[in-house]
């Protein structure tokens, strides 16, 4: 390992994490759109000068960005190579080379010290709207990237410190919400500026050689810790499969399969047998698939640091031609749904090898819902948000009620923020009774959201969700949770989408609403092992109906309740 004393290493690790944390906070406070400002759908980090590997990421950023931003930095290195100069800034949203989807705008900036490239700083944030056929960009009917959003390849936003206004003009012309985009861009530029200043201070205090040695040591130690963790697990091969409802175009389920194999201090994640590339936007690009494997690993081994060293003992096999390795211009806008299913199958496989390492499946969909229209004064508005559900039961206790998706540390935008920003009213925002998967430790409960349009000449809604036909699974004998239910109001009553979880172009008159009933989390352990007092408590609190309690857990809870 790199020779650096442990105290200095700990101090430098904390200093570098703080740099990324401050960059996160700078963008969160400056961003105009609530997906960044409130939900924290963004991330910042430091990346290796020549490989682009993740060195440090902030604690508030989305975990999925740890892996994909490494691919984004590599894309800039590959394209611009030795032409990079101090003060350059690169920008793009091309998901096929930078991962995730086109709503995520990436800014990459080199950091130079004494005339030499020391590392890269990067910022990524989910912009509110970047063109395409659907406001908010989650288009469930997209069959190529061009129907999803404006596609920007890696280009120079700044050349040696001089901003290229032409690039900004192009960006602002390709969004329904130019003021929001301008504010988010300025926030990301501000975060990068802060990162440069903090790196100057850090290297001024410790010197480039010491900081470089610390970065090398952190990667080496992360690798050693990962190998030690794998050595403690049994050797073997375990398989799991789960399904996406459909691709939004053809109403057929799409399998996602994994074989998890451990041999000594190495692990293989083999996704052979997963569905081929599909017509609709549940494909994901190869960088996104690899990054998702990293997110699952971080959940399974939560004490490991967030850098590229963790993945060195792990091989990820993504079959060519599968929906996990889609090439441009395949649509990838619904990547969130697919990576959630990848995490589910990895947890289900690991539960067979080491059940105490994992939790049951969470609700498994962000339910990306966009409602857009024009106010009475003609001003356009776009409300895009995602919605929570139940997390899986754990070896220690019940799953979290109404949590955010396990792919991120993003939060669900508060109802008050959404109602203040858009002409909508939440008729209901509540826990969904009977939605948790039963188990020794039950899953968390999903939620019920009912959203009414208040103003203007009507609106149009678009939903991109999942788990409408395949419930979140339990592990270690636990039961599945309730499935996703979406309905929308029309003059003749309430209706359901033909494809259960995906639909575009839902016309809503003033006073009409949409309703989401989100899944709960799967149960952990057999339902027969649950304490009757806990069942009685759930019934008393209205989380579980008496009939379902008796059907699922027997009559013992009734004696406790009496």
| Model pTM score | 0.92
CA distance 348 to 344: 6
CA distance 213 to 338: 38
pLDDT at residue 405 in the model: 82
- C-alpha to C-alpha distances, 466 to 111, 157, 286, 307, 482, nearest whole angstrom: 41, 37, 21, 30, 12
pLDDT at residue 457 in the model: 75
**Percent of the chain, pLDDT > 70?**
99
Q: Which residues of the chain have pLDDT under 50?
A: 1
pLDDT at residue 66 in the model: 72
Q: Which residues, in sequence order, are bridge partners of residue 119?
A: 48, 111
pLDDT at residue 562 in the model: 67
Q: What is the mean pLDDT of the chain?
A: 93
pLDDT at residue 410 in the model: 62
pLDDT at residue 304 in the model: 84
Sign of CA dihedral 407, 251, 482, 139: positive
* CB-based burial label for 556 (10 Å; 0-12, 13-18, 19+): middle
pLDDT at residue 535 in the model: 96
What are the structure tokens assigned to 272, written together? 């052979």
Q: Which residues lie closer than 8 Å to 152 by C-beta, 6 or more apart?
A: 91, 92, 93, 94, 170, 171
Q: What is the pLDDT of residues 351-405, one digit of tens each?
A: 999 999 999 999 999 999 999 998 888 888 989 888 999 999 999 999 999 998 8
* 261 CB-side CA count, 13 A: 10
pLDDT at residue 516 in the model: 98
What are the structure tokens assigned to 42, written together? 């963004």
What are the structure tokens assigned to 154, written together? 């890696």
């Amino acid at each position: 390992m790199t020779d650096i004393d442990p105290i200095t290493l700990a101090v430098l690790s904390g200093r570098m994490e703080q740099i990324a944390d401050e960059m996160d906070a700078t963008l969160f406070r400056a961003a105009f759109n609530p997906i960044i400002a409130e939900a924290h759908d963004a991330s910042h980090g430091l990346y290796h000068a020549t490989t682009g590997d993740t060195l440090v990421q902030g604690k508030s950023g989305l975990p999925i960005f740890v892996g994909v931003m490494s691919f984004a930095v590599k894309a800039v290195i590959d394209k611009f190579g030795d032409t990079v100069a101090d003060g350059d800034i690169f920008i793009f949203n091309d998901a096929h080379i930078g991962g995730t989807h086109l709503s995520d705008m990436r800014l990459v900036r080199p950091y130079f010290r004494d005339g030499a490239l020391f590392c890269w700083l990067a910022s990524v944030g989910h912009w509110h709207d970047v063109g395409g056929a659907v406001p908010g960009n989650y288009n469930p009917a997209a069959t190529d990237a061009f129907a999803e959003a404006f596609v920007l390849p890696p280009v120079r936003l700044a050349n040696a410190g001089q901003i290229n206004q032409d690039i900004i003009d192009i960006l602002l012309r390709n969004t329904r919400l130019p003021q929001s985009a301008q504010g988010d861009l300025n926030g990301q530029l501000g975060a990068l500026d802060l990162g440069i200043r903090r790196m100057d201070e850090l290297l001024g205090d410790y010197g480039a050689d010491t900081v470089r040695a610390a970065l090398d040591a952190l990667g080496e130690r992360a690798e050693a810790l990962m190998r030690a963790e794998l050595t403690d697990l049994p050797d073997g091969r375990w398989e799991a499969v789960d399904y996406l409802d459909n691709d939004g175009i053809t109403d057929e389920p799409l399998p996602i399969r994994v074989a998890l194999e451990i041999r000594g201090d190495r692990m293989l994640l083999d996704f052979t047998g997963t569905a081929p590339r599909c017509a609709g936007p549940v494909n994901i690009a190869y960088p996104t698939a690899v990054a998702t494997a990293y997110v699952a690993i971080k959940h399974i081994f939560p004490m490991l640091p967030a850098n590229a060293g963790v993945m060195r003992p792990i091989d990820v096999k993504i079959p060519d031609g599968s929906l996990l390795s889609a090439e441009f211009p395949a649509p990838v806008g619904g990547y969130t749904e697919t990576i959630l299913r990848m995490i589910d199958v990895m947890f289900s496989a690991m539960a067979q090898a080491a059940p105490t390492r994992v939790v049951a499946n969470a609700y498994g969909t962000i339910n990306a819902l966009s409602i857009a229209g024009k106010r009475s004064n003609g001003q356009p508005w776009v409300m895009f948000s995602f919605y929570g559900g139940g997390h899986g039961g754990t070896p220690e206790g019940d799953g979290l009620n109404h949590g955010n998706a396990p792919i991120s540390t993003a939060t669900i935008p508060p109802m008050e923020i959404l109602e203040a920003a858009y002409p909508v009213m939440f008729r209901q925002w509540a826990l969904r009774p009977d939605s948790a998967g039963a188990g020794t430790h039950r899953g968390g409960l999903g939620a019920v959201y009912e959203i009414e349009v208040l103003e203007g000449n009507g609106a149009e809604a678009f939903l991109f969700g999942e788990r409408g036909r395949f419930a979140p699974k339990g592990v270690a004998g636990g039961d599945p949770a309730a499935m996703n239910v979406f309905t929308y109001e029309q003059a003749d009553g309430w209706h359901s989408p033909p494809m259960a979880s995906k639909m575009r172009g839902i016309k809503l008159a003033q006073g009409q609403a949409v309703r989401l009933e989100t899944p709960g989390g799967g149960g952990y352990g057999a339902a027969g092992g649950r304490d009757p007092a806990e069942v009685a408590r759930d019934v008393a609190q209205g989380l579980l109906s008496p009939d379902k309690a008796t059907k699922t857990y027997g009559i013992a809870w009734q004696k406790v309740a009496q």
